[in-house]
Amino acid sequence: MKQSKWLISSAVLAMGVTTVAASDPGYDRVAGRAHASRSEIIAPHGMAATSQPLATQIALDILKAGGSAVDAAIAANAALGLMEPTGNGIGGDLFAIVWDAEKKELVGLNASGRSPKAMTLAYFQEHGIDEIPPFGPLPVSVPGAVDGWFQLHGRYGRLAMKDILAPSIAYARNGFPVSEVIAHYFQSNKARIGHYPGFAETYMPDGDVPKKGEMFRNPRLAATYELIADKGRDEFYKGSIAKRIDAYMAEQGGLLAYDDLAAHESEWVTPVSTSYRGWDVYELPPNGQGIAALQILNVLEGYDIATMGFGSAEYMHTFVEAKKLAFEDRAKYYADMDFVEVPVATLISKNYANERRKLIDPNKASKQLPAGDIKLEDGDTIYLTVADAAGNMVSLIQSNYRGMGSGMTPGDLGFVLQDRAELFALDADHANVVAGGKRPFQTIIPAFVMKDGEPLISFGLMGGAMQPQGHAQIIVNMIDFGMNLQEAGDAARINHTGSSQPTGSTMTAGGVVHLESGFEESARKTLEAMGHTLGESNGSFGGYQAIMWDKEQGVYYGASEVRKDGQAAGY
């Protein structure tokens, strides 16, 4: 059998990439940087950073073949849907921020799906359901990723979709070795959704999910990708794929139907921003949680964070309290803006942050906090980023929610449908209350940084409610603590859990602070003395990728952190 060019070209992809080995024992970690696991990657023509090295290499192949940053991002996303189905896939949603170098503009894409028309509050009330379940047929909403691909491609693509999906189709048919972190998550997903029809046939053809280093093939997904490449996005939403999803969901007692898929369309949106000490940090507006990162940064800007020092109890306390304030607003206000008025401009304003900051006691942890009283009128994930030689940059995040999603694995299509509708509230007075054709609250958020009107950093950090916390910590690490792009992602993180939720639950007893092992014991004890409850390191600290543009030298910097299997590489 003739071997695909996509499988043999990756051996030379490291050529032209600048790397530095941290082998000199005289250096503190890497080049004197205490928090970095390795040096940044530096390259002049293009850069890709994803959570799976083979996906990164595919992105570089696409760039070298003349593809745009968007082409490469779609190719990498397709590869991750195959190689890291524990965090994403075409059964899920997508968000992106794109820097268009020719037009000098930053644009956003909300490619999240809506709830089925039959998914109403009355349905759950009539069936005596108090909470939307996390798995099974009920939490499935329309998957928006494929339409997201074609929206991005129609505006910024250069290569044919057949060429973009060809690498993933080849790997799906010929196989790829499963990497370590992904193998671990395969096991946990098998335990909770492995019993649903179609899952074992797709992901356990030999009786178990693949283990680290095992070659895995998904010919079903290869065939689905081929249909999409040949016939376009309508094949997924109106053609044979949509009909098979419809039939499967009807068999399982689900609410998602053919008409819901056929009615789907993505939305181009304008990113929103705040300035943090001279950097303009951009996020997408709700139904996602991106503006929570901006709210956290606005509150933190009122403190001398640099003087506090990284890892100090003073800094960690201040950060956690700022997070609590933002998340109370997140729980009350963030929802589909087609259904409710979300006061975005007020929430991310400096004046609002100044008022909210007054609620923070510098010496004591809060146990409960109110959301802001704003008067309204009438009422596991993957992240990747790619940059090309023309200066275009893409910040893209995609997810099934809860790892592999709902467990609903339709027919022989080779992927799992998401369970994003679990995040709806079942409270009629809540902004995020369930309704037919409504987009549920979303956790996945891409980010971008501009400085002096020029693109600076495309970055993201996957991981549920950790994402806005992580975004804020990356920015603080770089600006206040002087870390470089790689170090900012490798440094130990804070994850506060237990805030009020968009599903309607409220914070009790101040929540729990989870700290990675890099923080000193003395700081932990001080936090406890201030009234914080410290929990075990829960492993939910996210996964970070980033690309930074150095305009003066005309080069890209890339970073991929140590918590995932990922790789940043350039040429």
Q: What is the CA radius of gyration of the chain?
A: 22
**What are 171's two structure tokens?**
């790997």
- Residue of 50, 274, 318, 381 marked active site: 381
What is the bridge-based pairing of β-strands 454-462 and 543-550? antiparallel
Give every CB contact of residue 28 below 8 A, 6+ residues apart in sequence. Answer: 34
| The token pair that represents 39 in the structure block | 């040096």
Give yes or no for a contact between 41 and 18, defined as CB atoms under 8 angstroms apart.
Answer: yes
Q: Would you say 107 and 100 are in contact if contact means Cβ atoms under 8 Å apart?
A: yes
Please tell me the distance from the alpha carbon of residue 424 to that of residue 113, in angstroms, as a whole number.
13
Up-side HSE of residue 8: CA atoms within 13 Å toward CB? Answer: 4
DSSP state letters, 429-484: TSTTB--TT-PPPB----EEEEETTEEEEEEEEESTTHHHHHHHHHHHHHHTS---
Q: Which residue has the tokens 């991106």?
A: 290
Measure the CA–CA gap between 280 and 447, rounded to whole angstroms: 11
d(CA 262, CA 430): 28
Report residue 309 as tokens. 């020092």
Contact in structure between 333 and 425 (CB atoms under 8 Å): no
Neighbours of 63 (CB within 10 A): 24
d(CA 121, CA 255): 13
Q: How far apart are CA 73 and CA 94, in angstroms?
A: 12
Q: Is 2 exposed, middle or buried (0-12, 13-18, 19+ CB in 10 A)?
A: exposed
**Is 381 designated active site?**
yes
Backbone angles phi, psi at 93, to 5 degrees: -110, 170
Question: Which residues lie closer than 8 Å to 131 by C-beta, 6 or more apart?
Answer: 426, 503
Residue type at position 525:
K
d(CA 329, CA 307): 28
Q: What is the Cα–Cα distance from 93 to 75, expressed in whole angstroms? A: 16
Q: Which residue has the tokens 């994403």?
A: 88
| Residue numbers annotated as active site | 381
